Structure 1
Amino acid sequence: MFSRCRVVGCSNPARAGTEDGLDTRFCRPHADHYSRHGSPYRPSYGAREMAPYRAAAMAWLEAHEDDAYVRNAVDRVATLLQTSGPHVEAFRLRGLSPQDRAKAAWARLRRAAVDPRRMVAAWLAIEMIIRDDPQAERKTEFKRVQAAKLIHKMASGTHKRWGEGANVKELHVYPRSRGRVLRHIGEALEEATELLVQHRRPDLPSNAET
């Protein structure tokens, strides 16, 4: 019943057919890929691919800052930041639920004073690149994970430094960008930008303008 991974062309057994887990759909490599990227086979968009879309999205937001739907999206993201709870150091995330880790990510963004417009622009950029990609993965989960990965990188983790001279010590801890936490972040961002996308998607810059 669980003899093969569901990804076309993969001959590996699904994890449930081995001693490696209970996943009835994918083998270990494709399960890991799905966890990190939101698709078992489609890779994430790279930084170079995303850069012109992110720049175009931010420029569009700035040009339409008085638009009611733009203000609504920015305000709703700002609310996510303000209601995310106390800041949690990255090295204290172990043991927290995915939902609490997602809240901690929003709290890190708040602590880093990241402009809410950058997060709205991240979602719009994903909308735009998927629209322009003829081979895009168009499932909602992929879109959520791709946007979440962008904003997850805006809060760079926890960095500590103590001591002086030759005795100086540093600690750098970065939260893992994978799993259900990305789904929670992406879903919250999607809900915050829902009205903006619903009413202004046709007005977003085209590929030729990026």
Structure 2
Amino acid sequence: MDTRFCRSHADHYARHGSAYKPSYGAREINPYRASALAWLEANQSDTYVANAVDRVATLLRTSGPHIEAFRLRGLSPQERAKAAWARLRKAGVDPRRVVAAWLAVEMIIRDDPQAERKAEFKQVQAAKLIHKMASGTHKRWGEGANVKELHVYPRPRGRILRHVGEALEEACELLVEHRGRDLPERQADRA
């Protein structure tokens, strides 16, 4: 039983990291992601950029075995978070894209006049972005008219998002601390 929020606000908090502010939509955050990825590629020789990318690559390498999405039931939130990192590794997601997701969240919160500035909100927003990069398990059996397909997507909510976001924040903290002021300005203003 939640002692702070009613049921609808508690559910909203589990999905978005804030009981009141919704997640940023793809239209809002995609320009920031593209800008952050371009900035990372332009500054790839920077020590802090290389450190963040290496730390994310280490998260991917040390995440353990790949677990299909339909086998996650019964696992703890920490194990599910590790499984999310393993799905990213199996899908071959570039660690720079993961770092760019964190930087995009930093940039959009910086530009949002009514931003939720709590660390948990940032963690959940970034975790939702990387969760979408390699979410789900897809299986196919048989041929022709007898084809059976299974498509399972784990829900991006709750403690799992907090664990993934916390690990990502730790990987990118030095980059944001030392180069956060150098991040590009809002893309929409340049168009």
Shorter chain as denominator, the TM-score bin is: over 0.9
More helix by share: 2
For the residues of structure 1 that align with 2:56 and 2:10, how far apart are their CA atoms?
31
1:119 partner letter: V
Deviation by residue 1:116-156 (Cα, 9 ceiling, x = unmatched): 00000000000000000000000000000000000000112
What is the match of residue 47 of structure 1?
26
What is the match of residue 35 of structure 1?
14
For the residues of structure 2 that align with 1:107 and 1:53, how far apart are their CA atoms?
25
For the residues of structure 1 that align with 2:61 and 2:168, how far apart are their CA atoms?
14
For the residues of structure 1 that align with 2:91 and 2:190, how far apart are their CA atoms?
31
SS of 2:133's equivalent?
Answer: coil
For the residues of structure 2 that align with 1:134 and 1:156, how far apart are their CA atoms?
31
Count of residue correspondences:
189
For the residues of structure 1 that align with 2:77 and 2:137, how far apart are their CA atoms?
18
For the residues of structure 2 that align with 1:68 and 1:205, how far apart are their CA atoms?
18
What is the match of residue 145 of structure 1?
124
For the residues of structure 2 that align with 1:46 and 1:153, how far apart are their CA atoms?
12
What is the match of residue 197 of structure 1?
176
Does residue 74 in structure 1 map to residue 53 in structure 2? yes
For the residues of structure 2 that align with 1:209 and 1:42, how far apart are their CA atoms?
27
2:37 partner letter: M
Does residue 116 in structure 1 map to residue 95 in structure 2? yes
For the residues of structure 2 that align with 1:155 and 1:112, how far apart are their CA atoms?
6
What is the match of residue 6 of structure 1?
none
Higher relative contact order (CA 8 A, sep 6+): 2
2:162 partner letter: R
Does residue 85 in structure 1 map to residue 64 in structure 2? yes
CA separation of 1:209/1:127 partners in 2, compared to 1, >3 Å: closer, same or farther?
A: farther
For the residues of structure 2 that align with 1:50 and 1:104, how far apart are their CA atoms?
25
Deviation at 1:209, TM superposition (A): 4.6
What is the match of residue 136 of structure 1?
115
Does residue 56 in structure 1 map to residue 56 in structure 2? no
Unaligned 5+ residue runs, structure 1?
1-21
Q: Which has the larger radius of gyration?
A: 1
Q: CA RMSD for the aligned pairs?
A: 0.8
For the residues of structure 1 that align with 2:66 and 2:10, how far apart are their CA atoms?
31
For the residues of structure 2 that align with 1:185 and 1:71, how far apart are their CA atoms?
20
For the residues of structure 2 that align with 1:29 and 1:205, how far apart are their CA atoms?
36
1:152 partner letter: H
What is the match of residue 73 of structure 2?
94
For the residues of structure 2 that align with 1:199 and 1:23, how far apart are their CA atoms?
38
For the residues of structure 1 that align with 2:36 and 2:175, how far apart are their CA atoms?
12
CA separation of 1:107/1:177 partners in 2, compared to 1, >3 Å: closer, same or farther?
A: same
What is the match of residue 184 of structure 1?
163
1:189 partner letter: L
Displaced runs of 4 or more, over 2 A: none
